[in-house]
Amino acid sequence: MPSLKILTLYEHKEMRYSEITNNLGIPEDKLKESLRKLNRTFARNLPKSSSNDSPEEKDLDENRGFLILYSNSVKARHYVGFARAGNFVVQVLPKVFEPSENEEKNADTNDALLAFLRMLNVAYGLKIREVELAQLREKRTPESLLEIFIYLFASTLWSEVQRGYHKEYIEIQNEERFLKGKLLMSKELRKLPHQRHTFSLEMHEFSEDNLLNQIFYAAVRTSLARTTWRVNKKLLGELMMIFDEVSFKEITKTDLERVHFTRLNERFKRAFTLAKIVLSTLGGIQGEEASGFFIDMNDLFERFMLWVLKRSLWEYEVEYQKELKLLKNGNILSRKQYPDFIINRNGTPVAVLDAKYKSLGTSEGKLQVSPDSLRQVYVYAKILEEKYGVSGIPVVLIFPKSNAYNSSIKTEDNEATVGGATFFDGRRLLVLVYDMETLKEGLKIDEKFRKSLCNLLGPRSNLDASEK
């Protein structure tokens, strides 16, 4: 089977078809057809997003999906992840991890892949251990999200089967000469005289040839046919021998939905989640011509910041996307308000935070923040003050920062605060940046951000968070 051709793009970046064909050796007409196929599939399976900043998707077609196709070039949008059509894979990485001009491109692409995985891990509960990501760095992983997900699936499954093979009781119907099990009377009554020397029986057998293992076997077999990385080939080859007694099955979406986890098979849940991603991307699910794994970057950044806030402010309650009502009475329809984060102490709101996955501009030495963003957080705080009978709730806007994104925005030593102001009624506004470069080094909290946030909430929270 031909090896996969991988195209790497960063959000909102554009690349000419001629450059892609030269790098990957794909004829331009086949390249465009593959990209159109991916866009068509994307339009039918649009990723869900809870972010207030995600644009409403309209008029999606083969030229506008997770990519925008122009006459001479292709441009990534605000979706990150990877997808496959035939032997062609497109992976889109977050723009915050794009190598800067002074960084080595190949080395930093691997850092970008691992940093992206760390975001996915905490935002969507993939339960990838940091030691696994450290091993990936040591193994000099190919610059491919797909190869990384194959490795994570294979290594996770391998570690679990070493603890014991998954078996369960499965229903079997057979013709037997001796009566054992449940007699199937409906079949017995339909038998002709020459067939009555056997019994139609239903039995339950404790077997490894069950649906969950069949899904694992299909994922192993499909991955082995596609991977080009030596480490994956070795690991998958060993798994093929382990699952030798499991029958091959064409996996459907219905099969995936039929799998249920109990305390007896719960330890295989992570391997199952990764198997679904691998099967979906590699076309291992029957009826899918092109498939992939894409998410809205606005949503990912918000969910990542939720993890950061809960880890940084463990003594507070952090509410995410809580519904607030702007109007009380009347016959006027208004959009519901969903602040990203409400920080509560003892059930009372003490701050409102909004994560903005956007660039920060400056003019005449001052930050440029959109009026819509300012009005948005002000209204959130005002609604909460009215509801809880408090006053002066501060608001915070959080922006990402890296070597390649918002890099011109300077911070003071040990501070993540880059701007501040007061509204007309005296309400405090702060603008903080979160250093995304920390994710390239490991799953660590940006200490400057944590300290700045704790300073806003008071000296007690600063002390408690440090002790934690």
**At residue 291, what is the residue type?**
S
Q: Does 365 reside within a domain? A: yes
Q: Which amino acid is at 190?
A: R
Give pLDDT, residue 293: 86
129's tokens: 């251990």
Residues of the chain falling short of pLDDT 50: 460-468
Helix or strand run (H / E) with residue 62? none
Q: Which residue has the tokens 């700045």?
A: 452
In a domain, 282, yes or no: no
Which residue, 207, 234, 265, sits at the end of a domain? 207
pLDDT at 467: 40
**What sign for the dihedral angle of Cα 99, 102, 104, 108?**
negative
Identify the pLDDT of residue 468.
42
Size of the chain in residues: 468
Domain that holds residue 343: 315-457
Collapsing DSSP to helix, strand or coil, 181 comes out as coil
Please count the helices (runs of H) and the strands (runs of E) in the chain: 15, 18
CA dist list (Å): 92 to 12, 67, 167: 9, 9, 39
CA distance linking residue 445 with residue 462, whole number of Å? 14
What residues contact residue 424 under an 8 Å CB cut-off, 6+ apart? none
Q: Where are the beta strands (DSSP E) in 178-263?
A: 182-183, 199-207
- Whether 451 and 323 share a structural domain: yes
pLDDT for 36: 93
Name the helix (H) or strand (E) containing 224.
helix 211-226
Task: Flag whether 415 is in a domain.
Answer: yes
CA dihedral 175, 181, 182, 186 (to 10 degrees): 10
Continuous segment of H or E residues that includes residue 453: helix 447-457
**What secondary structure, in 3-state letters, does 285-342 show?**
ECCCCEEEEEEEHHHHHHHHHHHHHHHHCCCCEEEECCCECCCCCCCCCCCCECCCEE
Sheet holding 417-422, edge to edge: 317-320, 341-345, 348-355, 395-401, 428-435, 417-422
Provide the number of structural domains found in the chain. Answer: 2
d(CA 380, CA 356) in angstroms, rounded, equals 15
pLDDT of 107 reads 59
Asked if residue 123 lies in contact with residue 303, where contact means CB atoms within 8 angstroms, the answer is yes
Number of Cβ atoms within 10 Å of the Cβ of 87 = 15
* Cα dihedral value 350, 355, 356, 361, nearest 10: 50
In a domain, 354, yes or no: yes
E strands in 24-72: 67-69
- The pTM assigned to this predicted structure is 0.85
Q: Tell the residue number behind the tokens 């339909």, with chain if given.
A: 190
pLDDT at site 462:
43
Residue 122 lies in a domain: no
283 half-sphere exposure, CB direction, 13 A CA radius:
13
- Nearest to residue 91, comparing CAs of 106, 76, 103, 108? 76
Residue in the block written with tokens 């894409």? 294
Between CA 280 and CA 298 the distance in angstroms is 23
Q: Are residues 327 and 203 part of one domain?
A: no
Torsion-angle region of 434 (φ positive above 0: left; ψ -120 to 50: alpha; else: beta): beta
Is 201 a domain residue? yes
The CA-atom distances, in angstroms, between 351 and each of 17, 198, 263 are 48, 75, 40
CA 292 – CA 38 distance, rounded (Å): 8
**In the numeric block, which tokens belong to residue 27?**
């004829």
| Strand order, beta sheet including 88-93 | 5-10, 88-93, 79-85, 290-296
- Dihedral of CA atoms 332, 333, 336, 337 in degrees, nearest 10, equals -40
- Residue 377 belongs to some domain of the structure: yes
pLDDT at 141: 79
Q: How many beta carbons lie within 10 A of that of residue 419, not counting itself?
A: 18
Structural domain includes residue 338: yes
Res 104: pLDDT: 56
